[in-house]
C-alpha cells in the first residue's frame, strides 16, 4: 500500500470486516483430483447472461487447479458448516476426505450438505490487486436445504442470519 494513504492494511481490513459476507466453498475437478477453497468474496454479477464472481487471492495454492480446470462449483455454506469453511481455508492435504459430494454439468464437486450450489464455467479472469476477479457463466444451480440459514462472516467471526419480522 502507498505510504501516502492515511491508513494501513490492518485498519483497511478492520473497517471492511464490518461488512458481513456469505461464505462459500469454490471447487473444481482438477487434473490431480478435486480442488477447493473457502471464499467470502462471492456475488452475483448479471442476470443476462447469468454471471457470478469470486475473488481468490493470488497466493492461493488451490486456485491454479481451479483455473486450469476452466470451471468451478460454488457451494453456499449453511450456518452449521463453519468447520467446512475452516477446512477449505486450510492447507490440508486432502480437503475432500470423508465429505459427501456429487457433480453436476462441469464435474465440479457439489457438497450434499451445502445450502445451495451454482455450477459455472470460467468466463473471464481480471487482475485486481493481490486477488483475481473471476467471472463465471452459470450453467446450472439449485437449492438443497431450507432447514437452516446461510453461514455469515463478520468481524473475523462466523455467525448466522436472523431475518427481521
- List pLDDT tens digits, range 56-112: 999 999 999 999 999 999 999 999 999 999 999 999 989 999 999 999 999 999 999
Identify the structural domains of the chain with CATH numbers, from first to last: 22-147 (2.30.110.10)
CB contact at 8 A, 60 and 37: yes
**Beta partners for 124?**
135
Cell of 147: 432447514
Q: Phi first, then psi: give them for residue 85, nearest 5 degrees.
A: -60, -45
Would you tell me how many other CB atoms lie within 10 Å of the CB of residue 45?
15
Give the bridge partners for 110, in sequence order.
102
Q: Which residue has the higher pLDDT, 78 or 161?
A: 78
Instruction: Kindly indicate the confidence band of residue 17, based on its pLDDT and cuts at 50, 70 and 90.
Output: confident
- In this structure, the number of other CB atoms found within 10 A of the CB of residue 147 comes to 7
pTM for the model: 0.93
- Checking phi first, is residue 144 left (phi over 0); if not, alpha (psi -120 to 50) or beta? alpha
Amino acid at each position: 500500500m502507498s505510504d501516502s494513504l492515511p491508513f494501513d492494511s490492518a485498519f483497511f481490513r478492520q473497517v471492511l470486516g464490518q461488512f458481513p459476507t456469505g461464505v462459500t466453498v469454490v471447487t473444481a475437478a482438477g487434473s490431480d483430483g478435486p480442488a477447493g477453497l473457502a471464499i467470502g468474496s462471492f456475488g452475483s454479477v448479471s442476470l443476462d447472461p447469468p454471471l457470478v464472481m469470486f475473488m481468490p487471492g493470488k497466493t492461493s495454492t488451490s486456485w491454479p487447479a481451479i483455473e486450469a480446470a476452466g470451471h468451478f462449483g460454488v457451494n453456499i455454506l449453511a450456518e452449521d458448516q463453519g468447520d467446512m469453511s475452516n477446512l477449505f481455508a486450510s492447507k490440508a492435504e486432502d480437503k475432500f476426505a470423508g465429505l459427501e459430494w456429487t457433480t453436476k454439468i462441469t464435474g465440479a464437486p457439489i457438497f450434499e450438505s451445502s445450502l445451495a450450489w451454482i455450477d459455472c464455467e470460467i468466463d473471464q479472469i481480471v487482475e485486481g490487486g493481490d486477488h483475481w476477479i473471476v467471472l463465471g457463466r452459470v450453467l446450472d444451480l439449485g437449492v438443497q436445504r431450507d432447514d437452516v440459514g446461510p453461514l455469515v462472516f463478520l468481524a473475523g467471526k462466523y455467525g448466522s442470519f436472523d431475518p427481521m419480522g
